[in-house]
Structure 1
Amino acid sequence: MGRFLVSGGFPLKRGHRLVRAREAIMILVTGGSGHLGANLVRRLLADGHEIRVLIRPTKRHGRALAGLSVQRAVGDLRDPDAVDAAVKGCERVYHCAARISTTARNHREIHAVNVLGTRNVLQAAGRHGVRRVVATGSFSATGTTPGGPSTERDLFCPGDNDTPYTRSKVQMEHECYKAAAQGLEVVIAVSTAIIGPHDYGPSRMGRVLLDQAQGRLLAYIPGGFEFVSVSDLVQGHLLAMEHGRSGHKYLLSTEFRTVDQMMELYTQVTGQPVPRLRMPAGAMAALARLADGPRALLAPGREARFTPAAVRFLRSERRADISLSREVLHYRPTDIAAAVEEAYRCFVERGLVERRRATIPTARTKGQGVCGR
């Protein structure tokens, strides 16, 4: 059974029009110490809501939740009783937690957390009369359109190269659709590759930026992907909560960038040169296979930067059509360059990398840090 550790109420802030108050409601965020969750929690607090986060008892949360006035429900998504206790008394739920992986390892744990954990959240939400749930989906679980961008209507087609994570996110969507059919208000907000501040994991994209900033990124591969600023992703989740249609999903991206374009952007921000070695994708795929699977020859026991699935995603250069999010949610993405700048500034403020050059302040970060409470 989960337990609550209450760290105090949300303090009144002078001049903040949405503080406390009649508009304030109790909201549960699962995965509050993850990249999306840490930013979402801060936004919801700034909007004056009371926040409860479901956190695992063994997870180190560090700066992700430090100093934040949130209720902490300690428990595991796989424990129905802990989830039930966390959901009870909440009016809305953002289900952001997931076991993220691009390897073929730990498939049972991935399924248990992402599929059964989601079922536990949705069933508890139904029992306790939660007004609405927004669940975070993955772009990898969306189908493809030959010769065109992917849309929410494209059904996922199983294949030989599917990862346990991708399969679990497809099944997670099915759990949401079943719950919606049974009367629960639930919307899926689909994330692409996230970049931005408050990345305490750090995430895969955050690790690549750190490697570049520290001069440790020796090679990269050509390709491209849809990237989303974490602030855009947070805004998309809030819009899905307010305007999304129950039983529907919405793709959220800021813009498509090639890997070459991202490397140039990283160079502009960090001052480090683009890695000299631009590896052929086929060669990188072969190396990635040696680092993956139960008989990994390279870096056994930990997930590599570039797994076979990650290489396939980059080589596919998949595009996302976000017109439905624009039309229904009124979603308006910003700029990925600003997100990279904010991510870098946050790493600098946390002492993970030494600032090597003066960077141009963005409108969001000028005159202030980006990694505070």
Structure 2
Amino acid sequence: MVLVTGATGILGRVIVLDLLKQGKTVRATKRPSSNVEEVRKSFAFYTEQPDYYFDKIEWVDCDFEDIHSLEAAVKGISEVYHCAAKVSFHPKDKEEMYQTNIEGTKQLLYACQNSSVTKFCFISSIAVLDGVNDVGEMDEDSDFNSKLEHSAYAKSKHFAEMEVWRASAEGLKVVIVNPGVIIGSGNWNSSSGELFEKLQKTPFSFSGSTSYVDVRDVSKIAVTLMDQEVFDQRFILVSEAKKISEVASFVRENTGLGTVKVLSNSILKIGVFLNAILGWAFPIFRLMNKVNIEALTSNNKISNKKIINQLDYQFIPVMESLKFHLSNYTKKS
């Protein structure tokens, strides 16, 4: 039996579905307040038999702060896909991210000790990468540099990774995947699922670029790595980099809105200044910090060569991915 944490999230639900399509028995964690019927509806984006597969899921409420709850969740489990995480770049969410992403991962790994679990896939992020290789690209050797400034999210995923590598040293078979910005369908009001709504609402954009990846690629690769028992390694999962403004304009123009205006770096520097003097009083300015602005204006190159060579894999192009999921988004009501 396989356990998928964060199974109501944009990625977790697709991993669950892909595992079910393989004929595997899947237990899926959720919060008591989670809307699993929304997951059932989203399965229709990915399969012609959404009810058939959804009804095969063994749902379990899980408290990641309760070791007994986690021990019950992993009972009889042979492999774990740990997708549960808090994603945010707002300073107010720092403590929640640390609790969910670091402590939650640590507790889950404790529960896996002396259990039937032998294989563990951890979903991390490209946010933990620092430094470039000889050709100016970030790759799997671009280790987190604690001397640099990072978002609380990046720190939380880095320290969660450290917990996973600790478990690996103690004998658990682990693989870590580091996706870029995940483009997917469903879970429209949380995490990466908010992408389309946020881009619709925002008439301005930024000069930087970021690397994107389709949720179907992340799921397929994660499952394949586990099935082929490729362990004790990390793999960057990105399709390609696109200008943030290009993606924003595509979404807005294809939903009947105008193109975006790219904010100049000088305006963004004013935002950093306002954060410094008024952030304590106006929460909106707290997002305009140095780390966030750098992420929105940088054009880092990130290599996906390792996973392409490992699996002879071909990623879904970003614009094709956007078309597919934006179509689902516009039909969601």
Q: What TM bracket, shorter-length normalisation?
A: 0.7 to 0.9
| Distance (whole Å) between structure 2 residues aligned to residue 71 and residue 247 of structure 1 | 29
Specify the alignment match of 2:184 in structure 1: 196
- Indicate the residue corresponding to 2:119 in structure 1: 132
1:94 paired to 2:76: no
Which of residues 134, 137, 142 in structure 2 aligns to 1:149? Answer: 137
Q: Secondary structure, in 3 states, of the residue corresponding to 1:134?
A: strand
Pairwise CA distance, 1:283: 1.9
* 1:330–1:90 distance in 2 versus 1, CA, 3 Å: farther
Deviates more, 1:186-195 or 1:242-251: 242-251
Matched, 1:64 2:52: no
- Aligned residue number for residue 314 of structure 1: 296
Q: Structure 1 residues 140, 296: CA separation in 2 closer, same or farther (over 3 Å shift)? A: farther
For the Cα contact (< 8 Å) 1:197–1:346, is it kept in 2?
Answer: yes
2:174 and 2:195 mapped to 1: Cα distance?
A: 34
Deviation readout 1:193-222 (Å, 9 max, x if unpaired): 111222433435x43422444xx3221111
Which consecutive residues of structure 2, in runs of 5 or more, have no partner in the other structure? 42-50
> Which whole-Å CA distance do the structure 1 matches of 2:281 and 2:24 have between them?
46
CA 1:122/1:94 → structure 2, altered by over 3 Å: closer, same or farther?
Answer: same
User: Which amino acid letter does the alignment assign opposite residue 250 of structure 1?
Assistant: F
More helix by share: 2
Matches within 5 A, 1:1-373: 26-65=1-40, 68-69=54-55, 70-145=57-132, 148-159=136-147, 161-204=149-192, 206-213=193-200, 216-243=201-228, 245-267=230-252, 269-275=254-260, 277-284=261-268, 286-287=270-271, 295=280, 297-299=282-284, 309-351=291-333
Q: Indicate the SS of the match to 1:35.
A: coil
Query: 1:57-104, CA deviations, whole angstroms, 9 ceiling, x for partnerless residues?
Result: 244445025652211111222221111111111121100011111122
**What is the CA-CA distance between 1:260 and the residue it aligns to?**
3.1
How far the C-alpha of 1:34 sits from its partner, in A, is 0.9
Deviation at 1:261, TM superposition (A): 2.5
CA contact (8 A) 2:11 2:184 kept: no
* Alignment partner, residue 3 of structure 1: none
3-state DSSP of counterpart to 1:334: coil
What is the CA–CA distance in structure 1 between the aligned matches of 2:92 and 2:184, rounded to whole Å?
A: 27
Residue 321 of structure 1: CA displacement? 1.0
TM-aligned CA distance change 1:339 to 1:202, over 3 Å? farther
Write the letter of the residue equivalent to 2:293.
V
| Distance change >3 Å, CA 273–CA 232, structure 1 → 2 | same
Distance 1:136 1:183, change over 3 A: same
Quote the Cα distance in structure 2 between the aligned partners of 1:311 and 1:317: 12
1:7-57 deviations in Å (ceiling 9; x for gaps): xxxxxxxxxxxxxxxxxxx21110111111122222222222222111122
With over 3 angstroms needed to count, the CA separation of the structure-2 counterparts of 1:199 and 1:60, relative to structure 1, is closer
Q: Percent identity?
A: 23
Query: Cα distance 1:294–1:287, how it changes in 2: closer, same or farther (>3 A)?
Result: closer
The one-letter amino acid of 2:88's match is: S
SS at match of 1:239: helix
Pick closer, same or farther for the CA change 1:321–1:76 going to 2, 3 Å: same
Letter in 1 for 2:156: S
SS in 2 for 1:227: strand
C-alpha distance in 2, partners of 1:296/1:76? 34
Gaps of 5+ in 1: 1-25, 352-373
Secondary structure of 1:178 counterpart: helix
Structure 1 distance, partners of 2:310, 2:84, is 25
In the superposition, relative to structure 1, how do residues 179 and 212 fare at CA in structure 2: closer, same or farther (>3 Å)? closer
Please identify runs of 4+ aligned residues in structure 1 that moved more than 6 A: 291-294
For 1:212 and 1:54, how far apart are their aligned partners in 2? Answer: 30
Q: What is the distance in 2 between the residues matched to 1:34 and 1:43?
A: 14
- Give the C-alpha shift of residue 173 in structure 1: 1.1
- The one-letter amino acid of 1:84's match is E
| Paired position in structure 1 for 2:45 | none
Q: CA deviation at 1:336?
A: 1.2
